[in-house]
Structure 1
Amino acid sequence: MDIPLEKKRFTTSRIFILTTIVLFIAFVVFVIVSSSGPSKLNVENERLTISEAVQGVFQEDIPVNGIVLPITTIYLDAVEGGRVEEKFVEDGAIMKKGEPILRLSNTDLELSLVNQETAVYNLLTQMQIQQNSARQNTINRLNQLTDVKNKLIEAKRVYNLNQKLYDKDAIGRQDLIASENEYNYQKQRLELAQQVVAQDSIATNQEFSQAQDSYQRTRTALELMRKKVGDLIVRAPVDGQLTSLDAEIGQSKTKGERLGQIDVLSGYKVRVEVDEHYIARIYAGQIGTFNFSGKTYTLEIKKVYTQVINGRFLVDMHFQAEVPAGIRRGQTLQIRVALSQEKQALLIPKGGFFQQTGGNWIFKLNKDQTTAYRQSIQLGNQNTEFYEVIDGLNPGDKVITSGYDNYGEIQELILN
């Protein structure tokens, strides 16, 4: 009699299949759990820049480049046009005020001077003739007045004599009346002669004054013409160094054309270009500093040129107190211009992390400095060295300030 055998529920093949399924499920779960957690990346410490957040003095400033220029530059323009006939000095010469630089020639201007001089001499001759004529006329008027006075005296004497003779019946009444009429006639002539002399004197004075005014105007015009001719010799307006001289013998220069410039060597200034973004924050009196030969020097903004060209505007800065020895015109200086007053703030050094994070977060190290994780932060102002931390960090915190180019969406760094 056959005995029925009990069928096995777990064969070797079935066990293998079940084991495989369990391992696969475990792997899937592991992957899901791993992907849902923070992404990590192992990095070498040597590739990182680790900085510490510190409490310190903060001042907002901007870096700018400045060019050293003479304290004053006076441009030489051709006051009158002409041909360059002679050069007395060459470019770079040290000039004293009034020393000649070059000579121009202008035939038309020189001819106008001759004509003006001739006009002045002719006017002076006419004035002399008029004055002589006026003097002669005055003398004649005075002679006539003297004759009238003499005849009046004689007429009065005769009239008085006839009055006495008539009282004694020595002469007739007709003789008395005739002498009286003659006396009255001479009195009227005297009054008229005196009026003529007075009016002649007034007229003479007016003519003389008008002639003097005309002569002075003509003389002034002559002096101006002489000055214009004198301006054909270009002279140094101040003591200084002649630079940028642009004139060669035989070359024609038009009126107003730039010939060169005189740089006053009594001091220097620094001309700075600033980005237009800061135009509302730059003003006269602000301070800038720079290093030269291992020493720090101070500059002060004296003038701001508000015209913006190609996104930048100009600022003139003057040295405060000491001017660096050995500084030269045209030299470039790297200057830090202060935009705010000094204050206490939490600071972290500037670094490449800002380009990827925009200052919104940073990798902060744990206490044992084995890992670093993302930390949200808020930055304020900045200068050439530091960022001002408003929120997110405390003094003594260690952070990574080097660039984050290779970290992508990494949430945590494992430091090796």
Structure 2
Amino acid sequence: MDVQIEKKKFSKGKLVMIGGAVIFLILIIYIIINTSGGAKLSVSEERLSISTIKSDVFQENIPVSGIVLPISTIYLDAVEGGRVEEKFVEDGAMMKKGDPILRLSNTDLELSLINQETAVYNLLTQMQISQNAARQNTINRLNQYTDVENSLVEAKRLYELNAKLYEKGAIGRQDYQSSLNNYNYQKQRMILTKKVLKQDSISTKQEIEQAENSYQRTQNALKLMRKKVEDLVVRAPIDGQLTSLDAEIGQSKTKGQRLGQLDATSSFKVRTEIDEYYISRIYAGQVGTFVLNNKTYNLVIKKVYTQVNNGRFQVDMLFEDKAPEGIRRGQNLQIRLALSAEKQALVVPKGGFFLKTGGNWIFKLNEDGSKAHKVNIRLGSQNTQYYEVLEGLKVGDKVVTSSYESFNDIEQLIIK
């Protein structure tokens, strides 16, 4: 009698297939779990700079580099051309106002001075001769006036005497008429003589004034010529330090040629160059600070040069108080220039992350610090230490502020 063999539900082959399917399903689930949320990267905490978001006093500023310059520089140009005959000082010398620097020679100019002096002397001599002649002419006119006056007095006396005699019949009409005619004639002479004397006085006065004006003009020309000759000796126009002296004995210098410059050492200014991006936000009165020998000093913008060269413009700044001891021309200063007033704000320290993200997102750590994921943020103003956080973060959040250069498209950091 046959015995019925009971068929097994799962064969060995089926069990192998089921096991393989389960393992495959587990692998798929693992991949899904590990790929959810984007690409991940494990990174050592030592490689990261982790900063904490905080609320702090914030002021927008920019770093600028400034160079110390004298408060003013006077350029020394050759007022008159000539040959360098003598140097009294060397480049770098400290000068007092009026001290001689060098002497030029110019024979043409010196000869012109001699000719001008001769012309003045000749004019003075001629003017003296003219004045003497005018005086003599005036004396002659006065003598004539005296003669006419005397003749008038005598004619009047004779006329009045004859008039009385004529009334009494002591003399004839002919004698009376003759004395009357002579009297009238002398009166007319007196009127004419007075006019001539007055006109002569006016003419003499005009001639003297013209001669004096001509002499004064010639004197002024002589003074100018002497000044030109005096300018052959180049002198310091102010107290200061002589720099860039370009003159050697025997050299010929043309009129207007640069000889050197004199730097006023009574005070200093600082000249900075700023990116043209900020030109609309820079104005006189803004304050910058710098640290020298562990002490902070303030600078105030005095002048803004709006001309842009190579994408930058210049600004002159003055020390708010006395300049630091020992500061020198040409010294470089690192200045923080304030662009806004102080305010309370959320801030994140500056770091390399900004180059990759442009301030649009940042890696934010979770509560236990084991992971960091991307979060969108919005940054505002900046200064030399911080960015102002406008959106996306709160006080106490920890973020990665070091460079993201090697993270590429990573969405999450696994921090070890």
Q: Is the shorter-chain TM-score for this pair beyond 0.5, marking a shared fold?
A: yes
Higher mean displacement: 134-143 or 337-346: 134-143
Structure 2: segments with no counterpart, 5+ residues? none
Alpha-carbon distance in structure 1 between the residues aligned to 2:77 and 2:270? 24
Match of residue 320 from structure 1: 320
Match of residue 357 from structure 1: 357
Residues 287 and 299, structure 2, Cα contact 8 Å, conserved in 1 = yes
Match of residue 298 from structure 1: 298
Superposed, 1:4-153 pairs within 5 Å as: 16=16, 20=20, 23-24=23-24, 27=27, 30-31=30-31, 34-153=34-153
Alpha-carbon distance in structure 2 between the residues aligned to 1:129 and 1:393? 102
Structure 1 counterpart of 2:42, one-letter code: N
Residues 297 and 322, structure 1, Cα contact 8 Å, conserved in 2 = no
- Post-superposition CA distance 1:250-309 (Å, at most 9, x none): 111121121111111111111111111111111111111111111111111111111111
Residue 164 of structure 1 aligns to a residue whose secondary structure is helix
Structure 2 counterpart of 1:229, one-letter code: V
Alpha-carbon distance in structure 1 between the residues aligned to 2:146 and 2:50? 120
Higher mean displacement: 369-378 or 12-21: 12-21
Alpha-carbon distance in structure 1 between the residues aligned to 2:227 and 2:97? 17
Alpha-carbon distance in structure 2 between the residues aligned to 1:344 and 1:11? 75
Alpha-carbon distance in structure 2 between the residues aligned to 1:381 and 1:40? 31
The number of aligned residues is 416
- Post-superposition CA distance 1:93-126 (Å, at most 9, x none): 1111111000111122212212221221121111
Match of residue 207 from structure 1: 207
Alpha-carbon distance in structure 2 between the residues aligned to 1:396 and 1:26? 39
1:165 shift after superposition: 2.6
Superposed, 1:233-248 pairs within 5 Å as: 233-248=233-248
Residue 368 of structure 2 aligns to a residue whose secondary structure is coil
Higher mean displacement: 152-161 or 163-172: 163-172
Residue 389 of structure 2 is aligned to residue 389 of structure 1: yes
Structure 1 counterpart of 2:117, one-letter code: E
1:163 shift after superposition: 2.1
Residue 213 of structure 1 aligns to a residue whose secondary structure is helix
Residue 41 of structure 1 aligns to a residue whose secondary structure is strand
Residues 66 and 272, structure 2, Cα contact 8 Å, conserved in 1 = yes
Alpha-carbon distance in structure 1 between the residues aligned to 2:402 and 2:322? 39
Match of residue 341 from structure 1: 341
Match of residue 263 from structure 1: 263
Residues 84 and 248, structure 2, Cα contact 8 Å, conserved in 1 = yes
Alpha-carbon distance in structure 2 between the residues aligned to 1:108 and 1:277? 56
Match of residue 231 from structure 1: 231
Higher mean displacement: 126-135 or 48-57: 126-135
Alpha-carbon distance in structure 2 between the residues aligned to 1:118 and 1:256? 29
Q: 1:303 to 1:37 in 2, by over 3 A?
A: closer
Match of residue 163 from structure 1: 163
- Post-superposition CA distance 1:140-160 (Å, at most 9, x none): 111111111111111122222
- Post-superposition CA distance 1:164-223 (Å, at most 9, x none): 332333321111111111111111111111110011001111111111111111111111
Residues 78 and 254, structure 2, Cα contact 8 Å, conserved in 1 = yes
Higher mean displacement: 157-166 or 325-334: 157-166
Q: TM-score, normalised by structure 2?
A: 0.94
Structure 1: segments with no counterpart, 5+ residues? none
Residue 266 of structure 1 aligns to a residue whose secondary structure is coil
Residues 85 and 103, structure 1, Cα contact 8 Å, conserved in 2 = yes
Structure 2 counterpart of 1:377, one-letter code: I
1:32 shift after superposition: 5.3
Higher mean displacement: 2-11 or 130-139: 2-11
Structure 2 counterpart of 1:97, one-letter code: K
Q: TM-score, normalised by structure 1?
A: 0.94
Alpha-carbon distance in structure 2 between the residues aligned to 1:392 and 1:36? 23
Q: Say what the alpha-carbon RMSD is for the aligned residues.
A: 2.1
